[in-house]
Structure 1
Amino acid sequence: MHLAKTHDVIVLTHERFRNDIEPALNNFPGPRPRFVFHETRLLRRVPFNSITALPKYIIWQLSVLPTAIRLIGEARYDVIMHLTMGTFRYPSWLGFLGVPFVFGPAGGGERAPMRFFHGLPVRERLVEFARTALIVSGKFDPLLWIAHSRARLIFARTEQTRQALPFFLRNRVVIRQEIGSDPTADKREPAARLPEEPLRLVMGARLLGWKGVHIAIETMAVLRTRGVCATLDVFGQGHLQEWLTGKLRGLGLDDCVRLRGYVPFEEMQQHMRSAHCFLFPSLHDSGGTVVLEAFGNGLPVVCLDLGGPKDFVTRESGRVVGTAGRGIGEVARALADEIEDLNRDDALRRKLAAGALARGRELSWVNQMDGAMRLINGVLDTSTGSDVVEMER
């Protein structure tokens, strides 16, 4: 929507999103992109779920080429941007259409030390081993080499993803996140805290091993042994629900840590507005949309120096805990140290809350997109107002 204010934008996307996009466009004032919807007949009746998503995506990327060729035959385009699936391991073939090509922002190269998966169910550890093998294999995948070599510019979400690409592609990679924050963030006030009131922590994450909920629970156990009065609400669902519930019971934390399950977006925002701090010990998130949502609600963020969230959080908006040479217990104690500081010093918490709101404004969609387009124009030597074909979720 922001690009459409100064560019002619066509978004080529999947037919299944039509019923969400078209009503939203009707309520949007000002210039709008043109949306072109495509679906391959081969998979029209195949349901979309976690099992079918990847094969449907791969087939869609191939089947969409004739549609893209038709669009290119209708008008002149200055650049094609491929945004999704947002993983470097799944290449796009749009770079072969004779139009300057930009790939990304892509993630998927982020890894965490296996010691942080210690104690989790065997399935979680096997998944991480397999994922690590896939990341490493990307450096030797000839199809990935061929497709990515067509890009004049590659946006990677993190340095780890840049390093996961073949060495001869890294000189055309720029670190850039693909997400922006709510522009109305500056209208929200952080939650106040009454004397003797528990420090209310909130976490939004699926209940999967790599999301670090088990580390958050260990952190709460440390806080309890130190006598810190704090509660944690975890919003999200996943197959570790039962395992995490048992862990809470075993540690005697089920009175202060609540697994709240899935809640709609607006309800999640309300919970954030009444909390005092956002805890996010995720192990390899490429981005961190929920971190920007926390900023928009005036929540200081405490996270790990793994993945993308560390690039959002500054000393003025939260705390980033180092993981080098540390195990789960040491990281949990370090997270507890930062939370204990916020519990003890409410002036510090309020200062970081104000910094979180300011950081959210810095990372607004307008700033994010303008920065990306400056980079694209610089590399492609295109002018303002150029046509853009944009691949979107």
Structure 2
Amino acid sequence: MGSEPGAGWEFARAAAVHSEVWVITRPRFEPLIAHALAAEPVLAPWIHPVYVDLPDWCLRLKKHHRDVYWYYPLWQRLAGQRALDLHREAPFDVAHHVTFASDWMPCGLTALPPTVPLVWGPVGGASYVPVPLLRWLGLRGAAAELARRTVTGACRRAIADRTARRAQLVVGLNDDVRRRFAGTAAVVVEPNAVVDPAARGSSGSSAPSRVRTAVFVGRLVSWKGTRLAVKALSHPAAANWKLEFIGAGPDQRWLEAEAARRGISDRVTCRGQLPREAVLAALDAADAMLFPSLHDSAPWVVAEACAAGLPVICVDLGGPPIFVRGTADGVSRVVDVGPGLPARLAVALRDSESVQRPTPSDRWSSARMPALLEAWYGQAAQFRAGRDAAGNGSSVSSEVGGLVPQTP
């Protein structure tokens, strides 16, 4: 499964350690879930998949990526109605919206009675490119970012603030979410990445004179900081480095042309989209990940790098710093936003040359998940206990835990 579906399933698995779980998701995930349950039959009595979707005629209209913006709210409404039906049959102790991890789109679980504690998240999206850095997006990219800021900001005020007030706990993907909702709800920060440490040997070497390899993995779009990465590589401090872009996107031609213009095309390679195993092999072979993204909420690839023991150089924006600081390997660097940013990225690369590659990190592994969810659900359930105590003293006798990962 991809990162969003993968997150939903990992959360369901973790919740099933201590709860009976109903998973509301789309029918297209039925074969994957059936396969996963067959591989772990111990989960089958505790995880109950429930598949819902819009009518076929609606699905036929969903042809482009942008169509998710009308499809998703409709699906959330349908999922909320189904959750309410399930609650009437077997009352839930807690409801949990896991995916989409968007903090400005609707949450269907708000249809449940307020006596059902709601955990909302991990969610993100409240990360924006600072105005001084808009120049690294190009004209079209800057216009798109300003439009995104306007639209998502309005939706956050109209929709998400109500969801946050309804939730007993908001889980943010990064500190931007915490700052945005801190005055509205209880907020904790935890990325949704679930990546177990690499059981592979890394091949990054210690020869002081050899050319080192930095890798970027992700869509080749300007807001991912791809243009910053090329500029950084052209700085004299990065003269001992080459850069591999793994991924595809509309920025590829610009990146190749810019590398040629700066005379570094022999040190910049676009490898295109690669299979997962090839990406993991590239992480093993590289000496650092250069990931200067300007508003990623919680990029799993950074967690993958940490789990592989690969140093990460990122910008102090959005979600990547959460992974770097949480891993605390002593080699990775979070570069402050400010003047001379490309040069400081290049210096961070150079400084990593003299430090031994860190050991793989287990900070973002699946082992952390059961205790994490148990703590979240316990915190959210305190709300219902308080309501029961203030009322007639009765409580729901069911020991059912309602976890609802939702992935259109």
Normalised to the residue count of structure 2, the TM-score between the two structures is 0.85
User: Mean alpha-carbon deviation: is it higher for 39-48 or for 330-339?
Assistant: 39-48
1:149 equivalent to 2:168? Answer: no
SS for the counterpart of 2:318 is: coil
The whole-number CA distance in structure 2 between the counterparts of 1:71 and 1:385 is: 14
Q: How much does 1:386 deviate?
A: 4.6
Q: 1:127 aligns with which of 141, 144, 147?
A: 144
1:313-341 deviation digits (Å, cap 9, x = unpaired): 134253333334x23xx111111112112
2:202 touches 2:308 (CA, 8 Å); kept in 1? yes
SS for the counterpart of 1:258 is: strand
Partner of residue 129, structure 2: 112
2:17 touches 2:370 (CA, 8 Å); kept in 1? no
The one-letter code matched in structure 2 to 1:172 is A
Change (3 A) 1:111 1:76: same
Task: State, as a whole percentage, how many aligned pairs show the same letter.
Answer: 26
Q: 2:85 aligns with which of 64, 70, 73?
A: 70
Q: 1:188 aligns with which of 184, 197, 200?
A: 200
Q: 1:213 aligns with which of 221, 226, 232?
A: 226
Equivalences for residues 286-301 of structure 1 within 5 A: 286-301=297-312
SS for the counterpart of 1:111 is: coil
The one-letter code matched in structure 2 to 1:221 is S
Structure 1: 5+ residue runs without aligned partners? none
The one-letter code matched in structure 2 to 1:174 is V
2:137 touches 2:223 (CA, 8 Å); kept in 1? no
Q: 1:160 aligns with which of 176, 182, 197?
A: 176
1:203-230 deviation digits (Å, cap 9, x = unpaired): 10211111001111111101xx347322
1:87 equivalent to 2:102? Answer: yes
How large is the RMSD of aligned CA atoms in angstroms? 2.3
Equivalences for residues 237-252 of structure 1 within 5 A: 237-252=248-263
Partner of residue 392, structure 2: none
The one-letter code matched in structure 1 to 2:378 is N
2:195 touches 2:303 (CA, 8 Å); kept in 1? yes
Q: How much does 1:138 deviate?
A: 4.5
The one-letter code matched in structure 2 to 1:22 is A
Q: How much does 1:299 deviate?
A: 0.6
The whole-number CA distance in structure 2 between the counterparts of 1:227 and 1:372 is: 43
Change (3 A) 1:69 1:339: same
The whole-number CA distance in structure 2 between the counterparts of 1:368 and 1:49 is: 34
1:44-67 deviation digits (Å, cap 9, x = unpaired): 323454121221111111122332
The whole-number CA distance in structure 1 between the counterparts of 2:278 and 2:341 is: 30
Q: How much does 1:186 deviate?
A: 5.2
2:193 touches 2:300 (CA, 8 Å); kept in 1? yes
Q: 1:137 aligns with which of 146, 149, 154?
A: 154
The one-letter code matched in structure 1 to 2:144 is V
SS for the counterpart of 2:297 is: coil
4+ residue runs of structure 1 moved beyond 4 angstroms? 382-386
1:27-55 deviation digits (Å, cap 9, x = unpaired): 23422422111111042323454121221
Q: 2:213 aligns with which of 200, 216, 219?
A: 200
1:156 touches 1:174 (CA, 8 Å); kept in 2? yes
Partner of residue 349, structure 1: 356
SS for the counterpart of 1:35 is: strand
The one-letter code matched in structure 2 to 1:127 is A
Structure 2: 5+ residue runs without aligned partners? 1-12, 386-397
Q: 1:335 aligns with which of 345, 348, 363?
A: 345
Aligned residue pairs, count: 374
Q: How much does 1:139 deviate?
A: 5.6
Q: 1:51 aligns with which of 66, 73, 76?
A: 66
